[in-house]
Amino acid sequence: MKESTALVVTPDLSGSMPGRGAHLHPDARCLELATRRKAFGRALRIEGPLDLSALAAVIESPGPTI
């Protein structure tokens, strides 16, 4: 079985995680555009495949109700 070599992009909703970050509007269209343009790799200064599933899950989940 081959292991995935993709780096996982982890959403930091509190803004308190250490390390380099990238900002994204919480909109599926913005995620799609950023993915297509490979903006995360440039913003995070990393190369190779990225696992954006955790980020997509946060964006696709319904927001809090007021």
Least confident range from 6-15, 27-36, 56-65: namely 56-65
Identify whether 53 is part of a domain.
yes
Tally of structural domains, the chain = 1
63: Cα separation from own chain's centroid: 17
Q: Could you give the CA distance from residue 37 to residue 15 in angstroms, rounded to a whole number?
A: 24
Identify whether 57 is part of a domain.
yes
**pTM for this model (two decimals):** 0.78
Q: Could you give the CA distance from residue 41 to residue 49 in angstroms, rounded to a whole number?
A: 9
Where in the sequence is the domain holding 38, given as residue range(s)?
1-7+24-66
Q: Could you give the CA distance from residue 22 to residue 24 in angstroms, rounded to a whole number?
A: 7
Reported as a single tens digit per residue, the pLDDT across 2-27 is: 566 889 999 998 889 998 889 999 99
